[in-house]
Chains A and B, each alone.
Chain A
Amino acid sequence: MTCLPLELTALLPLWFVVAGVVVLLLLEMFSKEEGRKVLPIVALTFLVLALGADFSLLSRQGMPGALFNRSVVIDLYSVTLQAICLLSALLTVLFSSAYLKREKAVTGEYYALILLAAAGMIVLVSASEFLTLFVGLELMSIAGYILAGYLRIKERSTEAALKYFLNGVFSSAFLLYGIAILYGVSGTTHFPDLRLFLEKNMNASVMGFNPAVFVQLGAALLLAGLGFKVALVPFHGWAPDVYDGSIAPVSAFLSTGVKAAAFGIFARLFTEVFGIPGSWTAALCVLAVLTMTLGNLSALGQSNLKRLLAYSSVAHAGYLAVGLAAAVGNPADSVERAVAFYLLVYTFMTAGTFGWIAWASGEGESQTNFEDYRGLGYRRPWMGVALAIFMFSLAGMTPTAGFFGKYFLFKLAMDNGMIWLTVVAVLNSFISAYYYLGVIAILYLKPEENRSFASLPVSVGLFFAFFLCVLGTLVTGFLKFPF
């Protein structure tokens, strides 16, 4: 029998985050206008506590494993993903505090929602059965829908929220159908049990009834449902509008934390459960190639940095899908390691870039076109260098961490003998380099006289956030990864 203290300590990050939500809501209720200054600090405190709990889990010998009647699994992979999601929330709070002050829209609910979504992510990435997965996913998504429409007086923001909500609900339905079918055919919702069932019955035919057909149908529906969440082509239609329409710090959160959590569980499903030969491998290959290529080609034509980043985030989901496509034939933990590493790196560089946009776009986020940043590199050299580092990393150039992330993913494909997939992935990196380098080049064109970048302040929190992102982008590749 599992003992209670272990179950409590193993989910300590979750408790901290939930406690943070309650405290933030109470503070919002009882504090006056002046008291709102402490809101981000309170949110940060709880996030740091949760991260600390994660690190103490990572450093202890032996993981707790399956808990709560096997509905949750606390292993290296889930703890790492929890840390990535919490990191994303932390960066979002840091970017938001200056942004919301500038837009005069500071409320307690905002921070409470971020922590609520973070709680959903923790549940999602630790799920070891489908119902927990679904509860975590919905908790995360619903908070996300509200965050996307946070500035409800802005039309774009409302549009983003509506699109995100409709697509999200739609994809949840797919997911539920998939879960129902898999339950119907196998009689279980636990991942390890389902795997055992698949290994036994994939090729069996019981009384003219072939479970493989239903398993494949279920897997296809899961693929579609999760594909919507992580924005794989052709399920990506919502992503550019949502990432572009939401306020920049929220875009940072949606494109890193939410995506990391969804992709994390996606990877667990397609390695630990569906990591056996089946038609989903071919489907994932096709999705990966489509996602990378269409994401990158659409990004080529953009003239708005935020939109460019939205498409680039689609393309990066494609690189991750390359790793998943190679899941069969590679050990599950090496796939999960590569995916988790990439998600960590991706969080640093993408959150950093969205944060950069939040800083540089000025009041009301009015300036997000390339042309608005002409010559910024001369006026604010350090901020220019920061964006350049993010762009080099997104393009996958050494020695930034983006290269190492891509290397580990592509190596999986190569080890699986998928040479053509590797070549396509590498050529996509090449296309992406074109537009990422273009962004850097804009910073060093002759400056326009009419825009002065001197008035953009960098507060302590913002400085810390950028410092964290730049440092993460530069050194993560050289660290020994925890597993």
Chain B
Amino acid sequence: MTLSLLIGLPLVGAILVGLFPWEKATKALAFLVSLTVFIFSLQLYTQFDLANAGFQFKELYDLVPNLGIHYAVGIDGISLWLILLTTFLVPLVTLAGFGAFSQRGYYACILLLESAVIGTLVSTDLFLFYVFWEMMLIPAFFLIGIWGGENRVKATIKFVLYTMLGSLLMLVALLYITHEVKSFDYSKIADHFFAEDTQFWCFLAFALAFLIKVPLFPFHGWLPEAYVEAPAGGTVLLSAVMAKLGVYGLLRFCIPLFPDAAKAFAPWIMILAVVGVLHGALMATLQTNFKKILAYSSLSHMGMILLGIFTFSLTGLQGGVLQMVSHGVYMAGLFLLVGMLYERRPSYEMSNFGGWAKTTPVLATLFLLLMAAALGMPGLAGFVGEILILVSAYKANTVLALLAISGFVLSAWYFFYLYGKVFLGPTNKKQNTVLDLSAREIALLLPLATAVLWIGLSPNFFLRPMEKSLQANVIERLKPAPAMTDFAANQRHLQEEMEKDKKGSR
């Protein structure tokens, strides 16, 4: 029941927030609900069986039995941290909205989004997965479209259409797979052998949906606008939570279900990932709008994660997943800080700022800490994941790894440039009235700062639970299958033996 409650609690919370008679109290209600969800989700870690590589906390009910649609959920070491990341960030996002938003709709949308994200991460039935995957779009559409900035409508429509195009093609692939396998069950589909052609097209359709969400380099057209126009909380959810789902989809579905196609596509995706790293970093250096700098840096860092994952080595995969968690934490912190700056002076242009380290020292310090984590400072969150990714990438392809490293040099450049422009330099007069962080704001940033240190100082705590699952659910599946004819013969042989066994046991 744990996982169902994790999906259900935010959903019920969203309805309660929508119907609660006293609108002023809804934000507190939303915060309480999301905090409860977080505390509740901690038992996923405490009860997690480290020795088990398969799915845990499994639940299974029939939904539409004659079409083979089930409510089937379960988690393994890959989804564990992403769920905890989500439940950890949502209360902070809710709390961060207290200053700027008092409408119930905002908080209801955040909770709905949380429910859909958790649903996506725990579904082991592909139909259910698709339902949750698309359900995310509706609250995200409203978060950007209603509470966003000047060009919010254009940004949100672009974002939803990009994502929909990908997921609709995934739907076609899904229809085809279930037509062939006659089941939506993850493990049944994973054990099914698809022909080379089928693998190629299905991988393409699934990967497109996931790579748009990440996004990978040529599919990132929606990103700058959506990230900049969304309210601070919305940007956090987009970059720290929803982008991870794209990578999760690749890890959970694309690679294990279509291993041969994945191997064939891997070099191309690695090249595009490195292009994305460089493109994002170069674009970031050209911006004057600091939210856009962060948006492009997020794009650049997501490229790194993909690079690590498509090396298909344990180090690279572990680095990728760990980096997802740390990217989620430091990007959330940075975007929330940007939101706080915006609340103090409604602008994202660097030229309107300067010398804020003097007037708002606490804000500046926290910004520096999270920025250092993003830069990969040893001892902080970004470092471990990056090292693991770069080491494995270096083994796989030296040139790509070197290019990716140069992306990091650029990232130091634009981050320090940003910090210098906003926090250092001469102050202007009006600034004396600007207040430093309030107790609420410090309270919501401290957990993020702690997490950044924690991941940096004891990465093993995070790496251990995912190791077995990555090995069994990703790497093992990529091992070359016996040749096609042998495989078919093998299958037949196995079947015959099983039938014999059955008869024998009777």
Contacts and interface: CB of A to CB of B under 8 A. Distances in A.
Interface of A: 377, 381, 388, 392, 397-399, 403, 407, 410-411, 414-415, 419, 422-423, 426-427, 429-430, 433-434, 437-438, 440-441, 444-445, 478, 480
Given A433-B164, A437-B160, A441-B157, A426 B131 contact: no
Contact of A441 (B63, B132, B145, B171): B145
Interface string B452-487: 000000000000000000000000000000000000
B178 to A, nearest CB: 8
B179 A441 contact: no
A91 B350 CA distance: 56
Task: Identify whether the interface residues of B are mostly helix, strand, loop, or mixed.
Answer: helix
Given A434-B157, A441-B153, A422 B130 contact: no
B105 interface: yes
7 contacts: A381-B105, A397-B138, A399-B135, A419-B176, A426-B171, A433-B160, A433-B164
Interface of B: 63-64, 67, 105, 130-135, 137-138, 141-142, 145-146, 153, 156-157, 160-161, 164-165, 168-169, 171-172, 175-176, 179
A414 B174 CA distance: 10
A426 B161 contact: no
Contacts of A438: 157
Given A397-B134, A399-B131, A437 B172 contact: no
Contact of A398 (B64, B130, B176): B130
Contact of B175 (A399, A414, A427, A429): A414
A426 B135 contact: no
Contacts of A430: 161, 164-165, 168
A422 B172 contact: yes
B130 A426 contact: no
Contact of A392 (B138, B156, B161, B168): B138
A376 B105 CA distance: 15
Contacts of B146: 377, 444
A399 B133 CA distance: 10
Nearest to B168: A426
Nearest to B104: A381
Contacts of B168: 426-427, 429-430
Contact of B134 (A381, A398, A423): A398
A475 to B, nearest CB: 13
A398 B135 contact: yes
Contacts of A398: 130-135
A279 B133 CA distance: 39
B161 A422 contact: no
Given A410-B171, A444-B145, 9 more contacts: A397-B137, A399-B131, A399-B134, A410-B172, A411-B175, A422-B172, A426-B172, A430-B161, A478-B63
Given A398-B135, A430-B164, A430-B165, A423 B172 contact: yes
A439 B214 CA distance: 27
Contacts of A441: 145, 153, 156-157
Contacts of B135: 397-399
Contacts of A478: 63
Given A398-B135, A399-B135, A419-B176, A444 B153 contact: yes
A414 B133 CA distance: 21
A114 B141 CA distance: 39
Contacts of B134: 397-399, 403
B176 A414 contact: yes
A388 to B, nearest CB: 8
Contacts of B67: 411
Nearest to B146: A444
Contacts of A403: 131, 134
Contacts of A440: 141, 145
B179 A414 contact: yes
Nearest to A417: B179
Contacts of A427: 168
B56 to A, nearest CB: 26
A426 B165 CA distance: 9
Nearest to B127: A407
Contacts of B138: 392, 397
A419 B172 contact: yes
Contacts of B160: 433, 437
Contact of B153 (A392, A414, A434, A445): A445
Nearest to B105: A381
Q: Which of B67, B161, B169, B175 has the most CB of A within 10 A?
A: B175
Contact of B161 (A377, A388, A410, A433): A433
A434 B161 contact: yes
Contacts of A437: 141, 157, 160-161
A362 B130 CA distance: 40
Sorted from nearest, which 4 A-B pairs have the closest CB atoms?
Answer: A398-B134, A414-B175, A398-B131, A441-B153
B80 to A, nearest CB: 25
Nearest to B148: A444
A420 to B, nearest CB: 10
B135 to A, nearest CB: 5
Contacts of A444: 142, 145-146, 153
Contacts of B145: 440-441, 444
Contacts of A445: 153
A1 to B, nearest CB: 36
Nearest to B160: A437
Contacts of A422: 172, 175
B347 to A, nearest CB: 20
A204 to B, nearest CB: 34
Nearest to B147: A444
A308 to B, nearest CB: 15
A387 B396 CA distance: 52
Interface centre among A398, A403, A411, A426 (most CB of B within 10 A): A398
A381 B153 CA distance: 17
Contacts of A434: 157, 161
Contacts of B133: 398
B157 A410 contact: no
A377 B67 CA distance: 38
A436 to B, nearest CB: 10
A423 B131 CA distance: 19
Nearest to B130: A398
A270 B105 CA distance: 46
B164 A410 contact: no
Contacts of B141: 437, 440
Contacts of B132: 398
A403 B164 CA distance: 13
B179 to A, nearest CB: 5
A358 to B, nearest CB: 25
Nearest to B62: A480
A318 to B, nearest CB: 16
Contacts of A480: 64
Nearest to A396: B168
B169 A426 contact: yes
A415 B161 contact: no
Contacts of A426: 168-169, 171-172
- Looking at B105, B156, B179, the one whose CB has the most chain A CB atoms below 10 A away is B179
Nearest to B65: A480
Nearest to A478: B63
Nearest to A429: B168
Contacts of B130: 398
A445 B151 CA distance: 10
